[in-house]
């Protein structure tokens, strides 16, 4: 079993490592929400906590939980929204967390466990109740989806169910926020009341030697409760969802429809978001920078390095962060809509077979496709994977997908060095990218995750429903906030550091007034250059572009323009004078094997760190350790591949 660190009670809202605002006072009663997937647990959590909540990783894990304050009869309770889980016997890290939090002892022991159960799938929802009722924890059952059940001819008698389960049952509809008062009352009674009496004496240990007998006992107990409370159970007819699934999950049409949906997501994150990004970029580099510069001039610091720090450091950094906002918002909104509508579960089914070869579930396909547009939202899109281990593997593979920012550099280099075959060269880069995703995926699976087999496909398909815009928007806003909070620091800091390095002169010149070639930045590039000589591009002009590319690939071409003190080419299809300079650099660096060196450079550019924003997103999803591992992995892959390409290529070119 995976062990999960419990969080001390004194840090109620520390789901974010940067310290989110406290939602509940220290020592507040702890209420945990547990329940099977697709029973409306998170909707209930949103209804209970309103704006007083955070969503983030549980400390020390990559498992996402919601946490917030809930006003229960005059006092604020600390509510934790746990990942969906059918039982306390964990199959994944997410379920292990549910077990750890529910069964925690000492100061972390929950005061009330609210098990959210669906009236439409009552028997299946009650296994968790059966297990929690074996402990002395007070349990309240929140019965959701009464409307869905009714449409199927199922009526659940909450009173009879409560009598059979031996704990309060509250019927409610979190989507319409009805029945929540009843839950407040029931939980309030538990908080002021005493200890619950376990349903079994002595309580059966859930991991005991005779686990099968224990499970049989629970199923028997559940059957008794269901028989006592459910009035009519009919085998359902063909539903609307079945009709849609005739296409959406069908052998040939299903994958085709999925490709269509992917195309829409990809278009939205490229064509639709790009004009917004450009507009924001123009706003920041134009009016905002001028205003900032004017402000610095007005306070009399115009001739000092402060001007550069404000305009080229801080404003440029914040501007870069802002350009990601429309892209991320759009991405989060689309994901929320796909999940809320029920389609995501179908997408997981139709792509399962293909992705299982990489040890990944079908829905991992989506972040990887999005990565070809931009890696940053793609890393965040790994949130759709319920299993934390799959999320780590996918987020490590995403940077190998060639994003559109890298495309501009390929085009410039291909038109400069291989004018007759530019299109083919660029296309080849995309093939290399796909190959890298597959090979690195297989490699990681064979080494780090050897024990993780592809999970057998068992997916509960929720009925399709019209997505609620309010819910989707609130999820989007919450995730966007989380991204900005965790990503802003690292992005702005990196842009400021690069500005600083380019401003510090080595030898002649004064701070802030020095040609790039004589800055500390160029000096650093020269120091790193010999490492890349085996790959055929160990010249500081080439290496410095890679250093800038670490911040953002969009900046590579403009940095070359700066390096060679040329005007930036108007279009990457027409390199002009820059082309001649680049020719010289690569020819000198490679000892005449120019083509091989350029190919090696392009492969390196594809495989190493995409940009600092991707790192920030990875750090948010995976934590610092996995992010550092990812950077190392990419540098090793990039260097090895570049050296290989050059050493083989020089035989021919």
Partner 1 sequence: MATSLARAPVGIELRVVGAVGPTALTRRLAELGLRVGAHVRCVQKTAGGGRIVDVAGSRIALGRDVLDAVQTVPTHPAQPAEATPS
Residues in contact with partner 1 by the rule CB under 8 A: 86-87, 89, 91, 120-121, 123-124, 127, 152, 154, 211, 215, 219, 233-236, 241-242, 245-246, 249-252, 254-255, 345, 349-354, 456-461, 463
Looking at the DSSP assignment, which residues form a beta bridge with residue 505? Answer: 519
- Least Å distance between CB 165 and partner 1? 17
Q: Which of 338, 367, 364, 348 is nearest to 464 (CA)?
A: 338
Which of residues 448 and 461 has its CB atom nearest to partner 1 in the complex? 461
User: For residues 117 and 142, is the Cβ–Cβ distance under 8 A?
Assistant: yes
Nearer to partner 1, 222 or 475 (CB): 222
Cβ of residue 151: shortest distance to partner 1, in angstroms? 11
Q: How far is CA 113 from the centre of its chain?
A: 28
Strands 64-72 and 75-81, by their bridges, are: antiparallel
Instruction: Using the minimum distance from each CB to partner 1, give the nearer residue, 121 or 199.
Output: 121
The CA distance from 124 to 110, in Å, is: 23
The answer to whether 308 and 297 have CB atoms below 8 angstroms apart is no
Complex with partner 1: residue 181 or 211, whichever CB lies closer? 211
207, 594, 639 from 653: Cα distances, Å? 65, 7, 20
CB closer to partner 1, 195 vs 252: 252
Give the residue with the Cβ less far from partner 1, 247 or 294: 247
Q: What are phi and psi of 81, to 5 degrees?
A: -95, 105
CA distances from 519 to 400, 487, 644 (A): 32, 28, 32
Helix (H, G, I), strand (E, B) or coil at 538: coil
Q: How far apart are CA 162 and CA 141, in angstroms?
A: 8
CA separation, residue 342 to residues 119, 276, 379, 557, 598 (Å) = 18, 29, 22, 43, 47
Question: Minimum distance from CB of 149 to partner 1 (Å)?
Answer: 9
In the block, residue with structure tokens 């021919």 = 652
- Minimum Å distance from CB 459 to partner 1? 4
Q: Which is nearer to partner 1, 85 or 634 (CB)?
A: 85
Helix (H) or strand (E) holding 197: none
Three-state DSSP state, 302: coil
Q: What pairs with residue 54 in β-bridges?
A: 67
Spatial separation of the C-alpha atoms in residues 382 and 394, rounded to whole Å: 7
User: What secondary structure letter does DSSP report for 450?
Assistant: T
- Rounded CA-CA distance 615/403 in Å is 14
Q: Distances in Å between the alpha carbon of 113 and those of 68, 108, 152, 186, 302?
A: 15, 13, 29, 11, 61
Assess contact for 313 and 327: CB atoms under 8 A. Answer: no
Give the residue with the Cβ less far from partner 1, 120 or 330.
Answer: 120
CB of 250 to partner 1, least distance (A): 7
- Considering the complex, state which of residue 215 and residue 635 has its C-beta at the smaller distance from partner 1: 215
Least gap, CB of 139 to partner 1 (angstroms): 18
CA dihedral 118→123→125→131, nearest 10 degrees, is: 150
Cβ at position 252, least distance to partner 1 in Å? 7
343 or 400, CB closer to partner 1?
343
Indicate the residue among 21 and 251 with the shorter CB distance to partner 1. Answer: 251
Residue 493 CB, nearest approach to partner 1 (Å): 44
User: By C-beta, is 241 or 558 nearer to partner 1?
Assistant: 241
**Helix, strand, or coil (residue 65):** strand
Dist. CA 39–CA 342, nearest whole Å: 12
User: Rounded to a whole number, what is the distance in angstroms from the first to the last CA of the chain?
Assistant: 55
Q: How far is the CB of 386 from partner 1 (least distance, A)?
A: 13
For residues 88 and 542, which CB has a smaller minimum distance to partner 1 in the complex? 88
We find the least distance from the C-beta atom of residue 141 to partner 1, in angstroms, to be: 17
For partner 1, give the closer residue by CB, 86 or 653. 86
Encode burial over 166-188: b for 16+ CB neighbours within 10 A, e otherwise.
ebbbbbbbbbeeebbebbbebbb
Phi-psi category of 575—alpha, beta or left, where left has phi over 0 and alpha has psi -120 to 50? alpha
Whether a cis peptide bond, with omega within 30° of 0, leads into 572 is: no
Question: Radius of gyration of the chain from Cα atoms?
Answer: 28
- Taking the complex as a whole, the smallest distance from the CB of residue 211 to partner 1 amounts, in Å, to 8
Ramachandran class of 304: left when φ > 0, alpha when ψ lies in -120 to 50, beta otherwise: beta
Residue 170 Cβ vs partner 1, minimum distance, rounded to whole Å: 22
CB 79 → partner 1: shortest distance, Å? 25
CB atoms within 10 A of CB 348: 23
Q: Is 31 helix (H, G, I), strand (E, B) or coil?
A: strand
Task: Give the nearest distance from C-beta 445 to partner 1 in angstroms.
Answer: 18
* The token pair that represents 34 in the structure block: 């547990």
Which of 17, 455 has the CB closer to partner 1?
455
CB of 121 to partner 1, least distance (A): 5
Q: How far is the CB of 148 from partner 1 (least distance, A)?
A: 10
In terms of CB distance, is 176 or 353 closer to partner 1?
A: 353
The H or E element containing residue 72 is strand 64-72
């Amino acid at each position: 079993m995976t062990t999960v660190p419990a969080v001390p009670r004194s840090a109620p809202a520390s789901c974010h490592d940067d310290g989110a605002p406290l939602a509940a006072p220290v020592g507040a009663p702890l209420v945990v929400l547990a329940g099977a997937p697709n029973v409306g647990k998170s909707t209930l959590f949103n209804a209970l906590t309103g704006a007083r909540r955070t969503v983030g990783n549980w400390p020390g894990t990559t498992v996402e939980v919601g946490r917030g304050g809930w006003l229960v009869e005059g006092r604020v309770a600390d509510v934790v929204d746990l990942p969906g889980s059918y039982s306390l016997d964990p199959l994944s890290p997410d379920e292990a967390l549910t077990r750890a939090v529910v069964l925690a002892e000492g100061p972390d022991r929950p005061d009330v466990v609210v098990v959210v159960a669906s009236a439409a799938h009552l028997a299946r929802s009650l296994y968790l109740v059966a297990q929690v009722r074996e402990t002395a924890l007070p349990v309240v059952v929140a019965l959701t989806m009464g409307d869905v059940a009714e449409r199927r001819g199922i009526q659940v008698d909450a009173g009879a169910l409560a009598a059979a389960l031996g704990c309060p049952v509250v019927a409610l509809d979190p989507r319409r926020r009805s029945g929540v008062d009843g839950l407040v009352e029931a939980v309030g009674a538990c908080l002021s009341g005493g200890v619950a009496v376990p349903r079994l004496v002595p309580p059966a240990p859930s991991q005991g030697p005779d686990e099968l007998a224990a499970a049989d006992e629970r199923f028997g107990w559940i059957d008794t409760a269901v028989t006592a409370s459910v009035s009519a159970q009919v085998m359902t007819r063909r539903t609307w969802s079945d009709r849609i699934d005739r296409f959406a999950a069908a052998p040939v049409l299903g994958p085709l429809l999925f490709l269509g949906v992917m195309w829409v997501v990809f278009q939205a994150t490229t064509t639709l978001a790009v004009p917004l990004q450009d507009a924001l970029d123009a706003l920041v580099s134009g009016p905002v920078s001028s205003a900032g510069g004017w402000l610095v001039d007005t306070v009399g610091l115009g001739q000092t390095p402060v001007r550069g720090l404000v305009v080229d450091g801080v404003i440029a950094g914040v501007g870069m962060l802002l350009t990601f906002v429309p892209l991320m918002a759009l991405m989060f909104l689309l994901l929320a809509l796909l999940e809320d509508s029920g389609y995501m579960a179908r997408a997981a089914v139709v792509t399962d077979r293909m992705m299982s070869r990489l040890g990944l579930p079908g829905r991992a396909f989506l972040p990887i496709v999005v990565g070809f547009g931009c890696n940053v939202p793609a890393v965040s899109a790994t949130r759709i994977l319920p299993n934390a281990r799959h999320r780590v593997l996918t987020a490590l593979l995403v940077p190998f997908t060639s994003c559109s920012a890298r495309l501009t550099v390929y085009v410039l280099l291909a038109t400069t060095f291989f004018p007759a075959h530019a299109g083919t060269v660029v296309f080849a880069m995309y093939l290399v990218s796909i190959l890298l995703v597959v090979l690195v995926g297989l490699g990681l699976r064979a080494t780090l995750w050897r024990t993780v087999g592809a999970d057998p496909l068992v997916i509960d398909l929720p009925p399709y429903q019209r997505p609620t815009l309010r819910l989707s928007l609130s999820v989007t806003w919450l995730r966007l906030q989380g991204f900005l909070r965790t990503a802003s620091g690292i992005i702005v800091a990196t842009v400021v550091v690069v500005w600083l390095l380019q401003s510090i002169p080595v030898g002649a010149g004064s701070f802030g007034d020095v040609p790039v070639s004589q800055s500390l930045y160029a000096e650093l590039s020269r120091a790193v250059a010999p490492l890349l000589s085996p790959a055929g591009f160990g010249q500081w002009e080439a290496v410095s572009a890679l250093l800038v590319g670490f911040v953002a690939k969009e900046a590579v071409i403009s940095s070359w323009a700066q390096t060679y003190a040329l005007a930036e080419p108007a279009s990457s299809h027409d390199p002009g004078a820059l082309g001649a300079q680049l020719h010289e650099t690569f020819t000198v660096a490679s000892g005449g094997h120019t083509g091989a060196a350029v190919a090696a450079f392009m492969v390196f550019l594809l495989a190493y760190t995409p940009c600092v924003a991707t790192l920030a997103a990875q750090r948010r999803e995976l934590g610092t350790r996995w992010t550092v591992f990812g950077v190392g992995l990419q540098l090793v892959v990039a260097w090895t591949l570049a050296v290989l390409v050059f050493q083989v290529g020089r035989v021919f070119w």
